[in-house]
Structure 1
Amino acid sequence: MTLSHDVAGDGPALVLLHSGVCDRRMWDPQWAALLDAGYRVIRCDFRGFGRSPMPDRPYNNADDVADLLGHLGVERAALVGSSFGGRVALEVAARWPDTVTTLALLCSGSPELVPGPALRSFAEQEDALLSAGDVDAAVELNLATFLGPEADGATRENVRLMQRHAFDVQMAGGEEFGQIAAEIDLSAITATCLAVSGGRDLPEFREIAAGLPGLLPRARHVELPWAAHLPSLERPAEVTALLLDFLRASD
């Protein structure tokens, strides 16, 4: 199965990977600016999000992204990943280092993430609400956890719709198939990397971003004091400018 996706523009390939709270529509605020900057911009929905259906067999998200790049004839690409999308981007860059030129990671997860008290507490609350059938409350828990005060009302409503849709797709998906684990060595990554953290984010994600320069020789860390977990939605123009400055410097 090829992931549902959008592709537009000419020039170097730039792949946008969404967070686990959203789908590919989260990149709407960046889409036009990245096209205007001269990139061939690609964004996709992971399985069970947006317009990509639930899997019908065991799968791997990084394999899905690599298959999409092959389908589109992309041999080299920059990856921008938000949260869970950042975790997938790191796996792609580690397994296929010659494919990934540049990594921009916004409050990224990691294949090496060990959940601490804050993330475990969130997961337990979410599981309890979904088990009780209170999907609306689970959606609101995600908004309260992952969006900071910079997010306006329209942004909150958009995230609410994306998260609710993901829950609906996943809960209606029938038999659940698990991820195929792949061997991942982050030290294999050769791409230039920008690791962004949010000063209002959960501590686990801040620690991942701060630790990446110690793992990747071409990584640097930037913290946005105002940001929670989804800075590209909280201050879209500021984050778009940050991404473009980094991408241009890395070309």
Structure 2
Amino acid sequence: MYKIKTGKFLDRLPFARVGGGIDAILIINGGQGFMMRPETSRLRRDASRLGRILPDGRSFVLLGYDPKPGDVSVSSIADDIAEIIDNEFGGRCQLVGVSYGAVVAANVASRFQHRVSRLALVAGGYDFSPEGRHRLRRQAELARSGQSARLLQEFSSVFRRPWFNFLLKLRIRLNARKITGRLSSPATVCRYLDAMLAYRAGDHQPEAEGPDVLVVLGSRDQFFSRPSVLYPRVKIAVLEGETHMAPVERPADVKAILSSFLDSRP
């Protein structure tokens, strides 16, 4: 693993850069990027974990979320990312979105097609499934009512392996005060969840001249389902029997799929 450098883009968006190659992959973090405060140690851990599913030898930048957002929408987040691609990536890059970040990445690629050479959506898609939206609404309700411990418990059934879920539940139970102390403010969590609940991906569908797209998800994903509409130039890789945590439970398989897609010639 390369040395990890942390900083902020646009003076407010935290990032962790792994490696220094000029062809760095830009990754938009999942919901943990705004659920938890963007401490440097957390960014480093997230970057190290994501490094396990990316092509060997490729540098990448993991992008988080504004920890003190004002009015926020999926489109406004995408606007910031387009500016970052212009300023930091020479105007064009390979873009990967994870979970919540996948929806944002898809919006970037549909609205700013010339800035994205390839798009990979990992444990995600163009929009959340009906079940996923129900889970987001539930999370927003818990955050708004200050039920931090119950909010954390919402994530204790997302693994395929029962003992992974058991260990997560046990960790939350034993360290509830410490973990909840690291959560972002309820207002911040709600702003990002509400932004996604207000979003409709159908207003920003990819066009034929857009980038090649890869969707990687488990067949039992609790937040996303296989896209019902096959958009132009899309490959879909479904990991049978896997849940939303497929990148954690099947990192070698996800890495092989992503490597073949990101490292192949257009």
Normalising by structure 2, report the TM-score: 0.71
CA contact (8 A) 2:53 2:254 kept: no
Following superposition of structure 1 onto structure 2, how do residues 18-97 of structure 1 map, counting pairs within 5 Å?
Answer: 18-22=29-33, 25-31=45-51, 34=54, 36-37=56-57, 39-47=58-66, 53-58=67-72, 60-97=76-113
| 1:14-39 Cα deviation digits (max 9, x unpaired) | 111122245654342342774742x3
Partner residue in 2 for 1:230: 245
What secondary structure sits across from 1:206 in the alignment?
Answer: coil
Partner residue in 1 for 2:5: none
Structure 2 alignment gaps of length 5 or more: 1-9, 35-42
CA contact (8 A) 1:151 1:234 kept: no
Alpha-carbon distance change, 165 to 84 in structure 1, aligned in 2, over 3 angstroms: farther
1:147 and 2:159 equivalent?
yes
Partner residue in 1 for 2:16: 6
Letter paired with 2:225 = R
Letter paired with 2:62 = R
CA contact (8 A) 2:140 2:189 kept: no
Letter paired with 1:138 = L
Which of residues 184, 199, 204 in structure 1 aligns to 2:204? 184
1:137 and 2:147 equivalent?
no
| 1:203-231 Cα deviation digits (max 9, x unpaired) | x61232xx35x212x11111101321132
Partner residue in 2 for 1:50: none
CA contact (8 A) 1:196 1:221 kept: yes
What is the deviation of 1:55? Answer: 1.2
Alpha-carbon distance change, 153 to 185 in structure 1, aligned in 2, over 3 angstroms: closer
What is the deviation of 1:91? Answer: 0.8
Deviates more, 1:168-177 or 1:21-30: 168-177
CA distance in 1, matches of 2:190, 2:97: 28
1:206 and 2:219 equivalent?
no
Letter paired with 1:171 = P
Alpha-carbon distance change, 166 to 234 in structure 1, aligned in 2, over 3 angstroms: farther
Partner residue in 1 for 2:213: 193
| 1:21-75 Cα deviation digits (max 9, x unpaired) | 45654342342774742x331111022xxxxx22135561111212222331432
Alpha-carbon distance change, 230 to 155 in structure 1, aligned in 2, over 3 angstroms: farther
| 1:80-107 Cα deviation digits (max 9, x unpaired) | 1111111111111111111111111113
Q: What is the aligned-residue identity percentage?
A: 23
Alpha-carbon distance change, 36 to 175 in structure 1, aligned in 2, over 3 angstroms: closer
Letter paired with 1:54 = K
| 1:123-152 Cα deviation digits (max 9, x unpaired) | 4443443344321121111232x3332884
Deviates more, 1:221-230 or 1:58-67: 58-67
CA distance in 2, matches of 1:234, 1:61: 29
CA contact (8 A) 1:93 1:189 kept: no
Normalising by structure 1, report the TM-score: 0.75
